[in-house]
C-alpha cells in the first residue's frame, strides 16, 4: 500500500488545489524522513508523489481533468501483488466507486468500461513488474487510460459492454489455457479485444483473433526443430503482455479513431497494422527453418533466427500473412477492394521496416524486439492512412 497517494486521493475532493499541493509537499518531506535509511525502497514513493504533484498542477491550467487525476492516485495506492483473479475485482471497485464520486461527462455504462480497463491494466502492471516502481507505473498507466477515454468519448451500450468484455475475456482465457498466452498476455489481450469490440464492431475483433490464432500456429510450426537450433520462442511460444501490446496497440489506436471519427482510412490503417503483425510473425517463425538466410541491410549470410534476416520462404510467408488479414477485411466488408490492396501493400512494406530495424536498432541494443514490432506495425498503419487520405 502507498498511504501517501491514498491520503492525497481521498482528500483531493475536499481541498482546493493550493492545499493539495501543500499536502503533497508535506507528504514528500514526511516520506523522505521516514524512509531515509532505505532510499531505494523510497524512490518509487517519491517519484509517484512527484508525478501526483505534476498532475495537480496540470489541473490548475485545465490541462488535465480532476476526474482523471484523483482516481489514478487512489488506484495507484494499492500496490500489493496479488493473483489477477483477486486484483482485477479490487481495482475495478476502487476505480468505479472513486471515478463516479467526481463529476464527469460519462454515462455509468462508460464508467464501467473505464473501470474495467483500469482494473485489467492495474493487475497487469502489478503482476508483470512485481516490485519495480509499481506505484509510479500504476499512476502513469491509469492516468493515460483516463485521459485517452476523455478524448475518445465513444458511445457504448450496456449490451455492447457486457458482450465485448465477455467475448474478449473468454477467448483470451482459451488462449491462456492453450498456452498461446501467459497470465500477462491474458490480461493484455482482454483489454485490447474489449476496446476494439466496443469502439468498432465484431468484424475488427475477428481480424485480431485471426492474427493471434494464425500467429500462434506459425510459432508452433516445427517448434522442436527451432528449439534445437536455439531460436524457438521461450515458454513454448506463450505470448506475454509485451508481445501482445507491441503487435496490437497500433491496431487499437486506429480502431479507436475509426470508431470516433467514422473515417474509412482508419479502418484500412487498422488492417494494415495487423497485416504487418501477422506477416512479420509468419516470416519470422517459418523463416527460422530456412537454410539460407541473408541480412536485409547487407545481404550477408546469417544464421536462421537472427534479427534482420530474410529468406525466400520467409518472404512468401510474409506476403501470405499480410494477404490473409487484408483478404478477410475485404470479404467481411471492412474494406473495399482498393483499400484492401493498400492495406496489404502497407503491411508488406512494414514487415521489411521491421527487418531493417531488427538489423540496425535491435542489433545495437537501442531497441528490443517488442519495440521493433510496435514501430513497424504503427508505420504500416500510418502509411496506409496517408495513402488513402492523399488519394
Please give the chain's pLDDT, 391 residues, in tens.
788 899 999 999 888 889 999 999 998 888 776 655 556 567 888 889 999 999 999 998 888 998 999 999 999 888 777 776 788 888 999 899 888 888 888 888 889 989 999 998 998 888 877 666 888 999 999 999 999 888 887 777 778 788 888 888 888 778 777 777 777 787 888 889 889 988 888 899 999 999 988 888 887 777 677 666 666 555 555 667 888 888 999 999 999 999 888 899 999 999 999 999 999 999 988 877 777 888 898 888 888 778 888 889 989 999 999 999 999 999 999 999 999 999 999 999 999 999 999 989 888 888 888 899 999 999 999 999 999 987 6
**CB-based burial, 286-313: b 16+ in 10 Å, e otherwise:** bbbbbeebbbbeeeeebebbebbbbbeb
Cell of 19: 492545499
Tell me how far CA of residue 46 lies from CA of 26, 31, 40, 115, in angstroms.
12, 7, 10, 26
Q: What angle do CA 147, 151, 155 make, to 5 degrees?
A: 115
Are 171 and 216 in contact by the 8 Å Cβ rule? The answer is: no
Which parts of 152-201 fold into alpha helices (H)?
A: 158-177, 183-199
**Residue closest to 362 by CA, chosen among 239, 273, 280, 292:** 280
> Which residues lie below 8 Å from residue 10, measured CB to CB, with a gap of 6+?
74
Tell me how far CA of residue 321 lies from CA of 300, 314, 324, 328, in angstroms.
25, 10, 5, 11
Per-residue model confidence (pLDDT) at position 380:
97
Give the integer Cα–Cα distance in Å for 317 and 311: 10
Phi and psi based region of residue 235 (left: phi greater than 0; alpha: psi -120 to 50; beta: remaining): left
Bridge partners (DSSP) listed for residue 168: none
Per-residue model confidence (pLDDT) at position 350:
95
Domain borders along the chain are 202-391
For residue 239, give the 3-state DSSP assignment: strand
Q: How far is CA 225 from the centre of its chain?
A: 31
Per-residue model confidence (pLDDT) at position 382:
97
Amino acid at each position: 500500500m502507498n498511504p501517501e497517494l491514498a491520503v492525497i486521493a481521498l482528500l483531493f475532493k475536499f481541498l482546493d488545489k493550493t492545499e493539495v499541493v501543500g499536502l503533497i509537499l508535506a507528504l514528500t518531506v514526511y516520506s523522505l524522513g521516514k524512509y531515509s535509511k532505505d532510499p531505494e525502497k523510497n524512490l518509487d514513493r517519491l517519484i509517484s508523489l512527484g508525478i501526483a504533484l505534476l498532475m495537480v498542477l496540470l489541473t490548475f491550467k485545465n490541462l488535465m481533468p480532476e476526474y482523471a487525476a484523483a482516481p489514478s492516485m487512489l488506484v495507484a495506492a494499492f500496490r500489493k501483488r496479488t493473483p489477477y483473479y483477486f486484483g482485477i475485482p479490487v481495482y475495478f471497485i476502487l476505480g468505479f466507486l472513486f471515478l463516479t464520486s467526481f463529476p464527469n461527462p460519462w454515462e455509468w455504462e462508460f464508467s464501467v468500461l473505464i473501470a474495467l480497463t483500469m482494473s485489467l491494466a492495474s493487475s497487469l502492471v502489478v503482476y508483470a513488474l512485481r516490485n519495480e516502481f509499481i506505484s509510479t507505473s500504476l499512476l502513469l498507466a491509469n492516468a493515460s487510460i483516463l485521459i485517452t477515454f476523455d478524448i475518445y468519448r465513444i458511445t457504448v451500450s450496456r449490451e455492447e459492454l457486457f458482450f465485448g468484455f465477455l467475448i474478449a475475456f473468454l477467448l483470451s482465457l482459451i488462449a491462456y489455457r492453450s498456452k498461446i498466452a501467459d497470465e500477462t498476455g491474458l490480461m493484455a489481450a482482454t483489454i485490447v479485444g474489449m476496446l476494439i469490440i466496443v469502439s468498432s464492431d465484431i468484424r475488427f475483433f475477428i481480424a485480431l483473433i485471426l492474427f493471434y490464432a494464425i500467429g500462434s500456429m506459425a510459432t508452433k510450426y516445427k517448434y522442436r526443430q527451432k528449439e534445437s537450433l536455439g531460436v524457438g520462442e521461450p515458454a513454448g511460444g506463450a505470448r506475454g503482455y509485451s508481445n501482445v501490446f507491441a503487435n496490437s496497440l497500433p491496431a487499437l489506436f486506429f480502431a479507436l479513431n475509426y470508431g470516433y471519427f467514422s473515417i474509412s482510412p482508419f479502418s484500412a490503417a487498422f488492417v494494415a497494422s495487423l497485416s504487418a503483425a501477422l506477416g512479420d510473425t509468419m516470416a519470422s517463425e517459418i523463416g527460422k527453418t530456412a537454410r539460407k538466410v541473408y541480412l536485409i541491410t547487407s545481404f550477408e549470410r546469417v544464421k536462421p533466427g537472427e534479427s534482420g534476416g530474410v529468406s525466400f520462404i520467409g518472404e512468401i510467408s510474409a506476403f501470405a500473412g499480410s494477404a490473409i488479414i487484408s483478404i478477410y477485411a475485404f470479404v467481411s466488408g471492412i474494406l473495399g477492394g482498393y483499400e484492401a490492396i493498400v492495406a496489404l501493400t502497407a503491411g508488406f512494406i512494414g514487415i521489411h521496416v521491421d527487418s531493417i530495424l531488427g538489423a540496425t536498432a535491435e542489433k545495437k541494443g537501442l531497441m528490443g524486439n517488442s519495440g521493433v514490432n510496435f514501430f513497424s506495425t504503427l508505420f504500416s498503419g500510418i502509411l496506409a492512412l496517408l495513402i488513402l487520405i492523399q488519394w
